[in-house]
A = this chain, B = another copy of it.
Amino acid sequence: MALQNDLLIRTAQGQKGERTPVWVMRQAGRILPQYLAIRNSLKDFKELVKTPHLAAEVTIQPVDILGTDAAIIFSDILVVPEAMDLPYDMIEKKGPSFPKTIQSPDDIKLLNTNDIADRLAYVTEAIAITKRQLAGRVPIIGFAGAPLTIFTYMIEGQGSKTFSKARSFLFRYPEASHLLLQKITEVTIIYLKLQVQAGANLVQLFDSWAGTYNPLHYSEFGMRYNAQIVTAIREVPTTIFAKGAFFALQELGQSQASVIGLDWHTTPAFVRQNGCADKVLQGNMDPCALYGSFKDIQKATRLMLEGFGSQAHIANLGHGVYPDTSADKVKCFIDSVKEFQLSASAH
């Protein structure tokens, strides 16, 4: 089925579109009352992730309500460690927690790498349902955690101020770290290809904890595996969002990724000067700008768009939208991107 709005895909492929496409990380979920109504009728977050027709429903909500140029499948990056036999709990107001973690190189042997299609069928089924229901209105974004971020969770078992367990694992067990990262990478490639087969039009790697590592480690243990993945996925455009990894811009620029996602700490000028001159960029308004007035949001959005210029840019926030943000403010951001473009082209 041909896409009616393929602006995001064309932009990701480096073509000039009629305006800047826009979507918002974490747009499916928490900020929408319509999401909360479904979520609160269920036992927990994971039940929603594992119920394909409901996951599809909340995936489509922001397209209808906010007018985004893409749907991103409602899921979690931690479905991958779970498929590898490290299940997670999602604890309200605290975040994920793993009852079992990787404590030593020996633990790596116990991880599963088989039956990924079966184990993650609930995700691919949700994508297939979304595809049918969207009927080509906008593209679907699939995603996975980047290997080093999944590795971090597998070792830490939860969030951390310093992530010193995961970071010291790299210092203490470099060979075992590579073994574990390679396993995660292979599972991730299988998983992303399944998402593409099910209907994802673009896939994004979330390297949420990239910024916790030192530059040498991130090159050796992070980018090496991100590069394997974006090289393996040639069917659709790919995005790498490596939060905090300003030190890896050179390698990100040289990677096969179609799009580089930026957090709110960088400026387009800095990124273009430091190794990503020719890349399509995604981002990067400070999510806290959405706590301002409607007028402040319009101003901040315009400032962001002017910074990127009108080409090779997919508008987004620099991080997932915060849970206590008003949906009206998010809509104001999305509308502002669309309107600013219209007025710019009217000159």
CA distance A217 to B300 in the complex (A): 12
Instruction: Enumerate A65-112 residues with CB–CB distance to B below 8 Å.
Output: none
Quick one: which of A172, A213, A217, A288 has the most chain B CB within 10 A?
A288
CB atoms of A215 and B265 under 8 A apart: yes
CB atoms of B168 and A288 under 8 A apart: yes
A170: nearest chain-B partner, CB-CB: B288
CB atoms of B164 and A292 under 8 A apart: no
Q: How far is the CB of A223 from the nearest CB of chain B, in Å?
A: 14
Quick one: which of A168, A215, A289 has the most chain B CB within 10 A?
A168
Query: Which chain B residues border A288 with CB–CB below 8 Å?
Result: 164, 167-168, 170-171
CB atoms of B247 and A266 under 8 A apart: yes
Q: A168-B291, A288-B171 are in contact. Are A247 and B270 (CB under 8 A)?
A: yes
CB atoms of A164 and B215 under 8 A apart: no
A246: nearest chain-B partner, CB-CB: B246
Contact of A286 among B214, B266, B292 (CB under 8 A): B214
Number of copies: 2
Instruction: Enumerate A234-252 residues with CB–CB distance to B below 8 Å.
Output: 244, 246-247
CA distance A265 to B291 in the complex (A): 30
Q: A164-B322, A246-B246 are in contact. Are A171 and B289 (CB under 8 A)?
A: yes
Q: Number of contacting residues on A, CB 8 A?
A: 34
Is A267 interfacial (CB-CB < 8 Å)?
A: yes
CB atoms of A171 and B214 under 8 A apart: no
Contact of A287 among B164, B213, B217 (CB under 8 A): B164
CA distance A162 to B161 in the complex (A): 12
Is A159 interfacial (CB-CB < 8 Å)?
A: yes
A247: nearest chain-B partner, CB-CB: B265
CA distance A162 to B246 in the complex (A): 18
Is A296 interfacial (CB-CB < 8 Å)?
A: yes
CA distance A164 to B267 in the complex (A): 20
Query: Which chain B residues border A213 with CB–CB below 8 Å?
Result: 265
CB atoms of B168 and A264 under 8 A apart: no
Query: Which chain B residues border A159 with CB–CB below 8 Å?
Result: 161
A250: nearest chain-B partner, CB-CB: B270
Fill in one digit per residue for A204-233: 1 if any B CB lies within 8 Å of its CB, else 0: 000000010111010000000000000000
Contact of A292 among B171, B300, B322 (CB under 8 A): B171
Query: Which chain B residues border A215 with CB–CB below 8 Å?
Result: 265-267, 270
Query: Which chain B residues border A214 with CB–CB below 8 Å?
Result: 264-265, 286, 318
Q: A164-B322, A286-B214 are in contact. Are A171 and B265 (CB under 8 A)?
A: no
Where the two chains meet, the residues of A that have a C-beta atom closer than 8 Å to any C-beta of B are 159, 161-162, 164, 167-168, 170-172, 211, 213-215, 217, 244, 246-247, 264-267, 270, 286-289, 291-292, 296, 300, 318-319, 322, 324
Q: List 24 A-B contacts (CB under 8 A).
A: A159-B161, A162-B287, A162-B322, A164-B288, A164-B291, A164-B322, A164-B324, A167-B288, A168-B291, A171-B288, A171-B289, A171-B300, A213-B265, A214-B264, A214-B318, A215-B265, A215-B266, A215-B270, A244-B244, A244-B265, A246-B246, A246-B247, A246-B265, A247-B265
